[in-house]
Chain A
Amino acid sequence: VKPWEKRQRIISRICVGLVVVAVLIYMIPIYWIAATSIKPTLLIHSRTPVLFFQPTGEHYRHLLYRTVNIAGRERVLGASEYPERYWNSIVIGGISTFLAVALGTMAAYAFSRFKVKGQSDWMFFILSTRMLPPVVVVIPIFLMYRALGLLDTHLGLILLYTVFNVSFAVWLMKGFMDEIPKEYEEAALLDGYTRLQAFRKVTLPQSVTAIAATAVFCLISAWNEFAFALLLTTRSATTAPPTIANAMGASGLDWGQVAAGAAVFLLPVAFFTFLMRNHLLRGITFGAIKK
């Protein structure tokens, strides 16, 4: 073995070692959420972290029921608000994603296939609406919603998340649409399809993957959204993030509860991240950087 090769091998070993360290650093907080969520409360408050313990489901049970300890026995007080809020997140995220992707796909098709006057200006306008900090936009939206009676309604948040995501969907879908060759569609038009039929039967089936990827990204950002949900809802339409932040975090001590709520909330996102791994780059740069 030449010394040069030997050096090369050592370097690559060191690199693998560093990767392992990086993965550890990244995974410890996530592991800790999972571990805390099944750790008995007493051990959570121990000064030295406890690694081995008898797992308990109490924190998950408390996500469902509010309980109180009377003379050492647990009594159920009533249903907790978390399942309801979680369901709000699903409904609001799901419907707004559907609307945003439907509108975004159509607009992206128009931008991609037809000449639109001032196209780059429109595209910039669309992007810039997404770039605005939520706290900046939320003040006039708050006033508008109060006047329209949309505060603390599902409809209000659904519409807002649709708007918030449609700009993203347009950009992402336009990138995808530009990659689908026009020729298929033109051939279909020659064959007597109308434009709408060509869109429905030729272009749409070819963009199924693109639509799925876009939908997942919209779903995740609606799912994670915090500022709007915090400021525009009070009870009935509140989603999970403000609930986790305010209701669970307010006492500041019930880390088991926070961990269980967080685990249930983060798991779907982690799952979708793995599902979308090949489209992440595109999604996160608004479709601007393609591999």
Chain B
Amino acid sequence: VGQLGEAILEEKVLDVGNRPQEAVGGRRRRGGLSDHQVKTAFLMPTLLLLIAWNIFPLLWSLYLSFCSFSATDSQPARWIGIANYHAILNDPGIWKYFSTTATIVVFSVLAQAAIGFSLAMLLNRPFPLKGFVTTLLLVPMMLSPVVVGLFWKYLFDDVNGLMNFLAETVFRQERVQWLSTPRMALTSLVIVDTWMWSPFMMLISLAGLSAVPPHLYEAAEVDRASSWFKFRWITLPMVAPLLLVALLFRTMDAFKLFDLVYVMTKGAPGDSTETLSLHLYRIAFDQFDTGKACALAYIMLVIIIALSNLYVRYLNKVKEGH
């Protein structure tokens, strides 16, 4: 048995009884599949599956995006060039849905970053039940957006909702029509999304905070630096890169916002909360204008791919830095 082999035995990683006879005898014998074969056999199923279930359908929908085609029609797809793209980009409605999506993304992601980071600052000190409290705060982001959205709809109910009761009794405000006026419907969506995803920002900020070397603070202490100075010049620069990654991640996610809107408002009142994803769903599965839906899907696809490219690049930078 070689030296390394002995090291393994000592570490009790390997069970002697399970080792092949030849190995115990100390003879070297190679058999079975070569490394190259193992690599191919291990990679192929995953890659083939991903190609069959992603690349192939996406190529098909790329073709369809240049066609006039409806999934409910028996008519075959008819090539119409860029007419679908032309129609979408010239539709003033689309720009409204773009800006609705952007509004939700900007407000909820900023609120999440602010709240999440503040929570992390609060939690970044020893106190009783710290682990339990932290985990408790992380539960919402693991829950199903559909169920969370549906339940918040009850909390936002005009008559029976808890939110209106609180508004009336605690804050002495008039009852708010949370989901039936355009402004408040958007606000409600932002509130629920923020409630769900601030813990995500908190978790990532906590990781950043715990990575700050304590000697930096000690040095600042010696120099009698103010708390603001320590925050501005030590804490913030150390956490910022991670926070930026989280922001990008959430931006991509918020871009897909569908479940929450579907159960809470379905785009109502009017089309004031119609996000891009919801609109795409409508074109594809209400109007069954499949060709046009594919074109819009492709426009969104390009945006998401660009964002995720940015995300991965930034992520690699952060990884190298740590």
Q: For residue B37, give the distance in angstroms from its CB to the closest CB of chain A.
A: 9
Contact indicator A135/B297 (Cβ below 8 Å) = yes
Tell whether, in the assembled complex, residue B135 and residue A274 are in contact, meaning their CB atoms are under 8 Å apart. yes
A-facing mask of B119-153, CB < 8 A → 1, else 0?
10011010100010111111111111111101111
- Which one of B49, B135, B246, B318 contacts A103 once the chains associate, using CB atoms below 8 Å? B49
Interface segment, B53-61, B88-96, B182-190, B215-223?
B53-61
* Residue in A110, A269, A285 whose beta carbon sits within 8 Å of that of B43 in the complex: A110
- CB contacts (< 8 Å) of A199 on chain B: these are 38
Q: Does A87 lie at the interface of the complex (its beta carbon under 8 Å from any beta carbon of B)?
A: no
Residue of B nearest to A272 (CB): B142
Residues of chain A from 259 to 274 with CB closer than 8 A to chain B in the complex = 259, 261-262, 265-266, 269-270, 272-274
Complex Cα gap A205–B4 (Å): 18
Give the CA-CA distance A288 to B313 in the complex, in Å: 12
Secondary structure of the B side of the interface? helix
CB-nearest residue of chain B to A27: B136
**A191 touching B23 in the complex, CB below 8 Å, given contacts A136-B301, A184-B8, A281-B203:** yes
Q: A140-B64, A196-B33 are in contact. Are A291 and B162 (CB under 8 A)?
A: no
**For residue B71, which residues in chain A have a CB less than 8 angstroms away from its CB?**
142-143, 146
| A224 B145 Cβ-Cβ under 8 A | yes
Which residues in B have their C-beta under 8 angstroms from that of A27? 136
Interface pair B245/A285, CB less than 8 Å apart? yes
- Minimum CB–CB distance for A150 against chain B, Å: 11
Chain B: minimal CB distance from A7 (Å): 11
Q: Looking at the complex, which one of B31, B210, B293, B315 makes contact with A194 (CB distance below 8 Å)?
A: B31
Q: Given A27-B136, A29-B152, A132-B301, A116 and B43 touching (CB < 8 A)?
A: yes
Q: Are B304 and A191 in contact (CB under 8 A)?
A: no
Q: Say whether, besides A133-B277, A285-B245, A245 and B150 are in contact (CB < 8 Å).
A: yes
Report the separation of the CA atoms of residues A45 and B161 in the bound assembly, to the nearest whole angstrom: 9
Interface residues of A in 159-218 (CB under 8 A from B): 159-160, 162-163, 166-167, 170, 183-184, 186-188, 190-197, 199, 201-202, 205-206
Give complex CA distance A192, B245 in Å: 44
Q: Are B155 and A29 in contact (CB under 8 A)?
A: yes
A-B pairs with CB below 8 Å: how many?
A: 301
Task: Say which residue of B38, B122, B142 sits within 8 Å of A220 (CB atoms).
Answer: B142
Residue-wise, chain B 142-186 has the 8 Å CB interface mask toward A (1 for contact) of: 111111101111110001101001000000000000000000000
Among the stretches A46-54, A57-65, A77-85, the one at the interface with B is A46-54
Taking a contact as CB atoms under 8 Å apart, the answer to whether A192 and B27 are in contact is yes
Q: How many interface residues does chain B have, given as a range?
A: 35 or more
Q: Interface on A for B, CB 8 Å cutoff? A: 12, 15-16, 18-19, 22-23, 25-30, 32-33, 36, 44-49, 103-104, 106-107, 109-111, 114, 116, 122, 124-129, 131-144, 146, 159-160, 162-163, 166-167, 170, 183-184, 186-188, 190-197, 199, 201-202, 205-206, 220, 223-224, 226-227, 230-231, 241-242, 244-245, 248-249, 255, 258-259, 261-262, 265-266, 269-270, 272-274, 277, 280-281, 284-285, 288-289, 291
Further contacts, 12 of them, CB under 8 A, given A226-B146, A241-B146: A15-B122, A23-B136, A49-B165, A133-B300, A135-B256, A136-B300, A140-B58, A146-B71, A170-B46, A192-B29, A196-B32, A270-B142
The 10 closest A-B pairs by CB, nearest first: A194-B32, A140-B57, A187-B4, A133-B256, A224-B144, A110-B42, A140-B61, A106-B42, A107-B46, A163-B53
